[in-house]
């Protein structure tokens, strides 16, 4: 939020994949100052009053362990968010060993691979390859692997919460009603979002329009395209909620598991998104927990954001921003096509255009988006990356010139 969005299948995740600024659907604001910060580092805080108050971790997590579903948010590319998730999983597992963990990162079609992983039949490489990690998620696998290993060594069932990219793309393009029921992967019609969630999604939609070179001031909530965007986002929420509810109710009523969902923070903030869809499905005993930087601006903290937040201390190990090309890629016909070029990006300045088909990157043939992303992320500052593209009947060569380190 998934924490890295992508991350993935709607326009909001496309923003993250192409190197746009994080959208509001997957993150909180980070404009904190020392004067406005009110969180104690390395401590839990409840948000049931006007100001956050430090919460006793034993009592808080004991209460969370009594819920039916607990959702752990994340920013997909924040290492500490995933370390925090592993810590919370371990603490909850001590109290409720009968646990299931659901992951936003995986579409349900790869569920058999998750089952084989937990059974100990796959190496990490085999697991990532067979689950098509580079295609379905694209965020660095190494920051998620400890969560997968935790599930494996404790034989905790992992559940794929997501749907295939094609479903969300189809709904974004033409709306829920225009997608045949046979193509909806069994997902039911989402509950209508509350107005505040719809307003949040509109801010994401306007940001996306601006990044695509459109005038964000001219888009309106009455636009059909925005309605389709909302339907796509709520379908995403609904799919994850249905998978969580199914996992909860699969066993005997007298021994229900604790179901924990790992997902982008935007899917659970203020009880919107997945919690809203869970309640519509009859699941009401829900816990929501979020990681926040300890210097978070407390003017932005409002009652209802989550049941509790954990204040992550700042540290000197902040990673530099990875190289960004500024494109949205789609796999098509056994190759990779540039679906969108961000105005002002490296790709735009180099001359790449919407519709270009990538033939080679660094002299190697291109078949999957994952290989392109790996090449870009592995590029050192100040170096050049050659690309060959097909534009209509022409084959063109370009050189991406990455800026030097600041």
Q: Where are the domains of the chain?
A: 11-312, 327-401
* Structure tokens that stand for 16 in this block: 């993250």
Angle at 235 between CA 280 and CA 16, to 5 degrees: 125
Cα–chain center distance at 398: 31
Tokens of 330: 């789609």
Residues 230, 162, 184, 335, Cα dihedral to 10°: 100
Q: What is the pLDDT of residue 324?
A: 82
Identify the CA nearest to 248 among candidates 259, 260, 262. 259
DSSP readout, 192-261? PPPHHHHHHHHHHHHHHHHHTT--GGG--TT-HHHHHHHHHHHHHHHHHHHHHHHHHHSS-GGGPPEEEE
Q: Of 73, 44, 13, whose CA–CA distance to 286 is shortest? A: 73
d(CA 279, CA 269): 14
Q: Is the dihedral of CA 363, 323, 137, 358 positive or negative?
A: negative
Q: In which residue are the tokens 């919690």 written?
A: 275
What's the DSSP call for residue 117? H
Q: Are strands 327-332 and 364-365 parallel, antiparallel or unpaired?
A: unpaired
Pick the CATH number of 327-401 from 1.20.950.20, 2.40.30.60, 2.30.42.10, 1.20.120.80: 2.30.42.10
- Hunting for tokens 């699969």 — which residue is that? 250
- Give pLDDT tens digits along the chain (406 positions): 343 333 333 333 333 333 333 433 334 444 434 456 789 999 999 998 778 999 999 999 999 999 999 999 999 989 999 999 999 999 999 999 999 999 999 999 999 999 999 999 999 999 999 999 988 997 899 999 999 999 999 999 999 999 998 999 999 999 999 999 999 999 999 999 999 999 999 998 888 777 666 665 688 999 999 999 999 999 999 999 999 999 999 988 899 999 999 999 999 999 999 999 999 999 999 999 999 999 998 888 889 999 999 999 988 765 666 678 989 888 888 899 998 888 888 999 999 999 999 999 999 999 888 889 888 988 888 999 999 999 999 999 999 999 988 7
Helix (H) or strand (E) holding 101: strand 99-107
Q: What b/e sequence results for 196-227 when a residue is b if at least 16 CB atoms lie within 10 Å of its CB, and e otherwise? A: ebbebbbebbbbbbebbeeeeeebeeeeeebe
Under DSSP, is residue 264 helix (H, G, I), strand (E, B) or coil? coil
Would you state the pLDDT for residue 36? Answer: 66
Distance CA 89, CA 71 (A): 11
User: Can you state the angle between helices 145-153 and 111-118, rounded to 10 degrees?
Assistant: 60
pTM value surpassing 0.85 = no
Alpha-carbon span 181 to 187, nearest angstrom: 9
Pairing between β-strand 99-107 and β-strand 157-162 as defined by DSSP bridges: parallel
CA–CA separation, 163 vs 235, rounded Å? 9
Interatomic CA distance for residues 158 and 283, integer angstroms: 20
In terms of Cα–Cα distance, which of 114, 115, 23 is closest to 75? Answer: 23
Q: Across-strand partners of 385?
A: 400
- Residue 86, judged by CB atoms within 10 A of its CB (0-12, 13-18, 19+), counts as middle
319, 79 Cβ separation under 8 angstroms: yes
In the structure, how many helices (H) and strands (E) does the chain have? 13, 14
| pLDDT score at 172 | 94
Regarding the domain delimited by 11-312, which CATH topology (the fold level of the hierarchy) does it fall under?
Answer: Rossmann fold (3.40.50)
């Amino acid at each position: 939020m998934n924490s890295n969005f992508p991350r993935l299948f709607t326009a909001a995740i496309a923003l993250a994949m192409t190197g746009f600024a994080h959208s509001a659907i997957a993150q909180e604001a980070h404009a904190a100052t020392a004067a406005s910060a009110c969180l104690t580092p390395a401590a839990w805080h409840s948000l049931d009053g006007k100001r956050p108050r430090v919460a006793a971790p034993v009592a808080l997590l004991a209460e969370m362990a009594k819920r039916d579903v607990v959702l752990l948010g994340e920013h997909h590319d924040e290492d500490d968010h995933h370390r925090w998730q592993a810590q919370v999983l371990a603490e909850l597992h001590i109290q409720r060993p009968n646990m299931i963990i659901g992951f936003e990162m995986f579409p349900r079609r790869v569920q058999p691979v998750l089952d084989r992983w937990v059974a100990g039949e796959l190496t990490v490489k085999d697991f990532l390859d067979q689950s098509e990690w580079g295609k379905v998620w694209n965020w660095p696998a190494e920051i998620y692997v400890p969560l997968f290993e935790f599930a494996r060594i404790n034989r905790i069932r992992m559940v794929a919460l997501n749907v295939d990219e094609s479903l969300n793309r189809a709904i974004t393009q033409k709306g829920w009603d225009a997608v045949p029921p046979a193509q909806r992967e069994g997902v039911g019609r989402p509950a209508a979002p509350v107005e505040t969630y719809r307003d949040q999604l509109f801010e994401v939609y306007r940001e996306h329009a601006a990044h695509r070179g459109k005038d964000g001031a001219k888009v309106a909530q009455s636009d059909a395209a925005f309605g389709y965007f909302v339907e796509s986002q709520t379908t995403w929420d609904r799919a994850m909620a249905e998978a969580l509810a199914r996992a909860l109710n699969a066993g005997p009523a007298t021994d229900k598991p604790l179901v924990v969902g790992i997902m982008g923070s935007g899917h659970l903030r203020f009880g919107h998104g997945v919690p809203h869809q869970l309640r519509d499905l009859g699941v009401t005993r829900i816990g929501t927990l979020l990681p926040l930087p300890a210097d978070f601006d407390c003017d932005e903290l409002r009652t209802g954001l989550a049941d509790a937040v954990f204040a992550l201390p700042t540290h000197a190990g902040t990673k530099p921003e990875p190289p960004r090309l500024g494109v949205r890629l789609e796999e098509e016909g056994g190759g990779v096509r540039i679906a969108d070029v961000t105005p002002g990006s490296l790709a735009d300045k180099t001359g790449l255009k919407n519709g270009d088909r990538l033939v080679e990157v660094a002299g190697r043939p291109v078949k999957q988006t994952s290989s392109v992303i790996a090449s870009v992320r592995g590029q050192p500052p100040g170096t050049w990356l050659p690309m060959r593209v097909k534009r209509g009947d022409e084959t063109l060569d370009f050189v991406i010139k990455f800026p030097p380190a600041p």
